[in-house]
Amino acid sequence: MSESAVSMPAADRRAFIQDWKAWHLTREATLSDPFGWLSVTDMYWLEATPHRYPGIPGEWASDDTGVSAQLASGEELFVDGESVAGFHHFGTLRERQSITARTSDFAVEIARRGGGDLIRPRHPDAPALAGFSGVPAFEPDPRWQLDGRFVPDRHPVTVASVVERVRHEYDSPGTLEFAFGGRKHRLTAFPGKEPNSFQVLFTDATTGSTTSKLCRTLYVAAPAEDGSVLLDFNRAVNMPCSFTEHATCPLPPPENSLPFAVEAGEKEYGES
């Protein structure tokens, strides 16, 4: 735990809370996006033999050449803003890549997960999206801003997912070390959204009670030149699988199970 967090002056604490509230509002705005995770209404794994899926234009297939859709007369999709009809070849997707096609009413996500291709319709009038009223979270507390250190150790990591058929493979850049409760803890990191940043999937003593029964994730900024990092557990968030059953979220590696209760960040979605 950082000394600055423990001894934070009142003015700095107020600024910290306001900053967290702004972040939390942005997080909820992202979740309430008309084509975000709460808008997903189904998930279909594509096969080499073309199939038509409920409510989605076209017959869809996936083979060694990539994903394709054969649209019937009168059916239309919009890809990169351009109208397409008849046969359309989307090409080969990279692992964890997603692209989006649109209809006049909803979106169709085309994605590759665990070596297979899938499509997910995303409807702006989905019941889950209409019923969204925010994500419960612990009150922000600067004591959960923990000083840590990045230890480089690039190595491949394979983890399970919430979908039995899917295994996720990552190139871990190393581990994040920090002290808490008089002990040193290590978390295997995955690449983050920004260059040289990290994503950490973890469980803790709150998992399955006050927080998600699966795991949460924490994004950590790139380390300083001396390898120091800040783990702000106030910004630990639920994975997409907390908001929809039509996700393929990875599960954390076994070593990322923290033996204490992280009473910070988002709580179980739907719980008060």
- Tens of pLDDT, residue by residue over 27-41, are 999 999 999 999 999
> For 258-269, what is the mean pLDDT?
97
- Among 62, 93, 122, identify where a domain stops: 122
Instruction: Kindly state whether residues 232 and 146 are assigned to the same domain.
Output: yes
Instruction: Kindly state whether residues 155 and 97 are assigned to the same domain.
Output: no
Tell me, what's the pLDDT at 177?
98
| 269 belongs to a structural domain | no
| 91 belongs to a structural domain | yes
Instruction: Kindly state whether residues 91 and 191 are assigned to the same domain.
Output: no
Tell me, what's the pLDDT at 128?
95
Instruction: Kindly state whether residues 218 and 175 are assigned to the same domain.
Output: yes
- Among 68, 89, 122, identify where a domain stops: 122
Say if strands 228-232 and 216-220 run parallel, antiparallel, or are unpaired: unpaired
Instruction: Kindly state whether residues 114 and 141 are assigned to the same domain.
Output: no
Instruction: Kindly state whether residues 117 and 146 are assigned to the same domain.
Output: no
Separation between Cα atoms, residue 101 and residue 88, nearest integer Å:
11
Contact (Cβ atoms closer than 8 angstroms) between residue 230 and residue 148: yes
Tell me, what's the pLDDT at 3?
42
Instruction: Kindly state whether residues 163 and 236 are assigned to the same domain.
Output: yes
Among 250, 45, 256, 255, smallest CA distance to 160 is for 250
Tell me, what's the pLDDT at 133?
93
Separation between Cα atoms, residue 122 and residue 216, nearest integer Å:
23
Average pLDDT, the chain: 95
| pLDDT greater than 60 at residue 271 | no
| 37 belongs to a structural domain | no
Instruction: Kindly state whether residues 140 and 252 are assigned to the same domain.
Output: yes
Q: With pLDDT > 70 as the criterion, what percentage of the chain qualifies?
A: 97
- Among 122, 157, 181, identify where a domain stops: 122
Tell me, what's the pLDDT at 6?
57
Tell me, what's the pLDDT at 270?
78
Tell me, what's the pLDDT at 5?
54
Q: Please tell me the total count of domains within the chain.
A: 2
| 25 belongs to a structural domain | no
| 244 belongs to a structural domain | yes
Instruction: Kindly state whether residues 101 and 168 are assigned to the same domain.
Output: no
| 26 belongs to a structural domain | no
Tell me, what's the pLDDT at 4?
45
| 20 belongs to a structural domain | no
Residues listed for the chain: 272
Range of the domain at 195: 134-256
| 21 belongs to a structural domain | no
Separation between Cα atoms, residue 221 and residue 46, nearest integer Å:
36
> For 52-62, what is the mean pLDDT?
97
Instruction: Kindly state whether residues 164 and 250 are assigned to the same domain.
Output: yes
Q: With pLDDT > 90 as the criterion, what percentage of the chain qualifies?
A: 95
| pLDDT greater than 90 at residue 272 | no
Instruction: Kindly state whether residues 144 and 191 are assigned to the same domain.
Output: yes
Instruction: Kindly state whether residues 154 and 245 are assigned to the same domain.
Output: yes
The model's pTM:
0.91
Among 114, 118, 174, 184, smallest CA distance to 148 is for 184
Contact (Cβ atoms closer than 8 angstroms) between residue 118 and residue 94: no
pLDDT band, very low/low/confident/very high, at 200 (cuts 50, 70, 90): very high
